[in-house]
């Protein structure tokens, strides 16, 4: 039996894996999804990603590509079919990369810290920092979308995928702590964007339902579950 030319190593609850799945689906690329347990890593995973030893890993024609944002860019470069993911304008492209890095390195890690926080004072500070980050992302949305429904314009693009992959976990956190982060009054553009993005089939088909993520959230609350990337 022939090995599929595109394989994805990952696990369903990982937003970083979901990010790659969304990009593959957007380009209508057929692929084999191989479930991996990040806490009991297979020899295959360690072989294809010996440096960081984590998911997701995309394997295309036997060649592995690691790191979710790098994989998304690779998908856009390697397949011309379907809509472009990255903006064509060099400045818009740089801006999208900047905000994607901010989301991964500065903003979303606050949610993991919130889950692990042991005092109300610490949780309050983290909630405030999350809201501050959302205000910045609201400004980025206004600038990048240029009045269109998505960061990428009329259709989803790189920054939509970079932020949108986290929306399942944002919803799960909101349910778990009884607080809404995406406020239609404080961040109206972002709140409307999130509603549109989460209604897309490309999102619904790969991101687990909120209740399942809530159960996982509670399971790892206080343990600071490490992230894939």
Q: For 165-182, what is the mean pLDDT?
A: 94
Q: For 196-212, what is the mean pLDDT?
A: 94
Per-residue pLDDT at 159 exceeds 90 = yes
pLDDT of res. 228: 60
The answer on 145 and 34 residing in a single domain is no
Per-residue pLDDT at 227 exceeds 60 = no
The answer on 94 and 141 residing in a single domain is yes
Among the candidates 78, 108, 132, a domain finishes at 78
On whether residue 227 sits in a domain, the answer given is no
The answer on 55 and 135 residing in a single domain is no
The answer on 137 and 205 residing in a single domain is yes
Is pLDDT larger for residue 51 or for residue 224?
51
pLDDT of res. 3: 63
* CATH assignment of the domain containing 132: 1.20.1050.10
Confidence grade of residue 116 (pLDDT, cut at 50, 70, 90): confident
Q: For 14-35, what is the mean pLDDT?
A: 96
pLDDT of res. 157: 97
The answer on 96 and 74 residing in a single domain is no
Per-residue pLDDT at 92 exceeds 50 = yes
Question: 163 is in which domain, residue-wise?
Answer: 90-220
The answer on 192 and 130 residing in a single domain is yes
Q: For the chain, what is the domain count? A: 2
Q: Which of 29-33, 38-42, 72-76 has the lowest mean pLDDT?
A: 38-42
The answer on 14 and 96 residing in a single domain is no
The answer on 65 and 133 residing in a single domain is no
pLDDT of res. 86: 97
pLDDT of res. 121: 95
* CATH assignment of the domain containing 50: 3.40.30.10
The answer on 196 and 149 residing in a single domain is yes
On whether residue 69 sits in a domain, the answer given is yes
SS3 string of the chain?
CCCCCEEEEECCCCHHHHHHHHHHHHCCCCCEEEECCCCCCCHHHHHHCCCCCCCCEEEECCEEEECHHHHHHHHHHHCCCCCCCCCCCHHHHHHHHHHHHHHHHHHCHHHHHHHHCCCHHHHHHHHHHHHHHHHHHHHHHHHHHCCCCECCECCCCHHHHHHHCCHHHHHHHHHHHCCCCCCCCCCHHHHHHHHHHHCCHHHHCCCCCHHHHHHHHHHHCCCCCCCCC
Q: For 63-85, what is the mean pLDDT?
A: 96
Per-residue pLDDT at 126 exceeds 60 = yes
On whether residue 151 sits in a domain, the answer given is yes
On whether residue 16 sits in a domain, the answer given is yes
Report pLDDT digits (tens) over 2-23: 567 999 999 999 999 999 999 9
The answer on 94 and 74 residing in a single domain is no
The answer on 202 and 115 residing in a single domain is yes
Q: For 193-217, what is the mean pLDDT?
A: 94
Q: For 198-213, what is the mean pLDDT?
A: 93
Q: For 88-101, what is the mean pLDDT?
A: 97
On whether residue 133 sits in a domain, the answer given is yes
pLDDT of res. 1: 47
Among the candidates 78, 99, 118, a domain finishes at 78
The answer on 109 and 23 residing in a single domain is no
pLDDT of res. 220: 75
Is pLDDT larger for residue 92 or for residue 115?
92
On whether residue 38 sits in a domain, the answer given is yes
Among the candidates 35, 51, 78, a domain finishes at 78
Q: Indicate the average pLDDT of the chain.
A: 93
Share of the chain above pLDDT 70, in %: 95
On whether residue 95 sits in a domain, the answer given is yes
On whether residue 226 sits in a domain, the answer given is no
């Amino acid at each position: 039996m022939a090995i599929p030319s595109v394989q994805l190593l990952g696990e369903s609850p990982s937003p970083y894996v979901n990010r790659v799945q969304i990009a593959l689906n957007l380009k209508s690329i057929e692929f084999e999804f191989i479930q991996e347990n990040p806490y009991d890593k297979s020899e295959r995973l360690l072989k294809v990603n010996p440096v960081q030893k984590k998911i997701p890993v995309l394997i295309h024609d036997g060649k592995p590509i690691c790191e979710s944002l790098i994989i998304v860019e690779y998908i856009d470069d390697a397949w011309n079919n379907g809509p472009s993911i990255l903006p064509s304008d060099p400045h818009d492209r740089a801006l999208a990369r900047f905000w994607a890095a901010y989301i991964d390195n500065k903003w979303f890690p606050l949610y993991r810290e919130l889950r692990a926080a042991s005092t109300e004072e610490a949780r309050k500070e983290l909630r405030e920092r999350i809201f501050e980050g959302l205000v910045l992302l609201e400004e980025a949305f206004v600038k990048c979308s240029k009045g269109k429904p998505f960061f990428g314009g009329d259709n989803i693009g790189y920054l939509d995928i970079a932020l949108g992959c986290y929306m399942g976990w944002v919803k799960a956190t909101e349910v778990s702590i009884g607080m809404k982060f995406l406020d239609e009054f404080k961040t109206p553009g972002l709140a409307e964007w999130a509603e549109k993005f989460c209604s897309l089939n490309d999102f619904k088909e790969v991101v687990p339902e909120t209740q399942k993520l809530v159960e996982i959230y509670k399971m790892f609350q206080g343990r600071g579950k490490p992230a894939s990337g």
